[in-house]
Amino acid sequence: MAYETLFTPTTLGSLNIPNRVIMAPLTRSRTPDSVPGKMQEAYYGQRAGAGLIISEATNISPTARGYVYTPGIWTDEQEAGWKGVVNAVHAKGGRIALQLWHVGRVSHEMVQPNGQQPVAPSALKGEGAQCFVEFEDGTAGQHPTSTPRALETDEIPGIVDDYRQAAIRAKRAGFDMVEVHAANACLLNQFLATGTNQRTDQYGGSLENRARFPLEVVDAVMEVYGAERVGIRYDAVYRAVWFDRRRSGSDGVLHGGAALQARPGLPAPERAELGGRRHHLPCGFPRADA
Ligand SMILES: Cc1cc2nc3c(=O)[nH]c(=O)nc-3n(C[C@H](O)[C@H](O)[C@H](O)COP(=O)(O)O)c2cc1C
């Protein structure tokens, strides 16, 4: 049978999964108040037959948002909502990971608390980039992003801590794993890519420096979940829409991924690629060449 392997069990880190179907994270924009509820319980519960569900990207803080109606994981109410979702998946014998998200510059003052500027590695607007906002007449739609401000060096530990707190809440809600979102032009991807990261401090410049923040986040989240229950998603393709082609060497994102993969404790690429051009990288695997 052509798909025999697809339906055989395997492990992801320390998680046993009964088949190799991994449901990709899919933003749905169905939580107007950012709190998952009955609709999300039904939606994810219906998909519990997957080996692993990776949830829609979930904002780690109010400033992490760039898309209205997406869920969060920074309040008690959101945590309780997610607990209901996890219970619905577990009740049907499934497993679910929470994807942790900060959009960085792919946002607008309209979506940010107190109308503040979105944050980014550097104060560079994403040319052609769109976020999702609610207009004054109550309708919602895509809208060009605004110019971000560059994060101060001493602000970065606070965002690392936001990821840590989000992971703590995810664990309390019962998620089987968490995935750090570092693909699709979100904040951590912006740090990895040369087109968006023009910093001169220890978070910019060399490959090691550009990967520093994403890896600090991975470390913080692994402290909460253990290495074998944490993944990172990074983008191996170069995106002209989200990154400024004129400023970015084509090495920007690709080599960012290489820096993540080269790190001891992270898996070799052939064991890491769970899907497509955007790789999901489970952190707790031994390297194949170790
Ligand atoms: C509507 C929609 C929403 C998506 N939301 C997310 C998301 O929340 N997080 C994420 O990492 N990827 C997201 N993606 C990307 C998908 O997970 C997936 O990578 C893509 O649809 C399949 O392409 P690929 O096989 O080339 O990766 C989204 C894609 C679509 C079409």
Predicted local distance difference test score (pLDDT) of residue 243:
47
Predicted local distance difference test score (pLDDT) of residue 215:
86
Q: Distance between CA 6 and CA 252 in Å, rounded?
A: 33
Measured in degrees and rounded to the nearest 5, phi and psi for residue 81 equal -60, -45
- Counting residues of the chain whose pLDDT is more than 90, the rounded percentage is 60
* Mean pLDDT (the chain, rounded): 84
Select, from the ranges 148-162, 199-213, 264-278, the one with the highest average predicted confidence (pLDDT).
148-162
Q: Is any ligand 1 atom within 6 A of the Cβ of residue 95?
A: no
Residue 22 DSSP code: E
Q: Is 54 helix (H, G, I), strand (E, B) or coil?
A: strand
Three-state DSSP string of 57-74 = EEECCHHHCCECCCCECC
Minimum CA distance residue for ligand 1 atom 11: 25
- Counting residues of the chain whose pLDDT is more than 70, the rounded percentage is 80
CB atoms near residue 46 (< 10 Å): 12
Q: Is any ligand 1 atom within 6 A of the Cβ of residue 181?
A: yes
| Ligand 1 midpoint to CA 25 (Å) | 6
CB atoms near residue 97 (< 10 Å): 26
User: Whole-model pTM above 0.85?
Assistant: yes
Q: What is the pLDDT of residues 191-225, one digit of tens each?
A: 988 888 999 999 999 878 888 898 899 889 989 99
Neighbouring residues of 121: CB distance < 8 A, sequence distance ≥ 6: 104, 150, 151, 187, 190, 191, 196, 197, 198, 199, 203, 204
Q: How confident is the model at residue 288 (pLDDT cuts 50, 70, 90)?
A: very low
Number of residues that make up the chain: 290
Statement: residue 1 has pLDDT above 70: no
| Pocket residue to mutate for ligand 1, from 26, 67, 188, most atoms within 8 A of Cβ | 26
Q: Is 130 helix (H, G, I), strand (E, B) or coil?
A: strand
Q: What is the pLDDT of residues 73-117, one digit of tens each?
A: 999 999 999 999 999 999 999 999 999 999 999 999 999 999 999
Q: What is the pLDDT of residues 224-257, one digit of tens each?
A: 998 888 888 876 554 444 444 444 443 334 444 5
Selection from 273, 124, 111 nearest residue 195 by Cα: 124
| Ligand 1 midpoint to CA 290 (Å) | 32
| Ligand 1 midpoint to CA 24 (Å) | 6
Q: Is any ligand 1 atom within 6 A of the Cβ of residue 277?
A: yes
Statement: residue 120 has pLDDT above 60: yes
Q: Which residues does residue 150 pair with via DSSP β-bridges, in sequence order?
A: 120
Q: Is any ligand 1 atom within 6 A of the Cβ of residue 27?
A: yes
Q: Distance between CA 90 and CA 240 in Å, rounded?
A: 40
Predicted local distance difference test score (pLDDT) of residue 278:
45
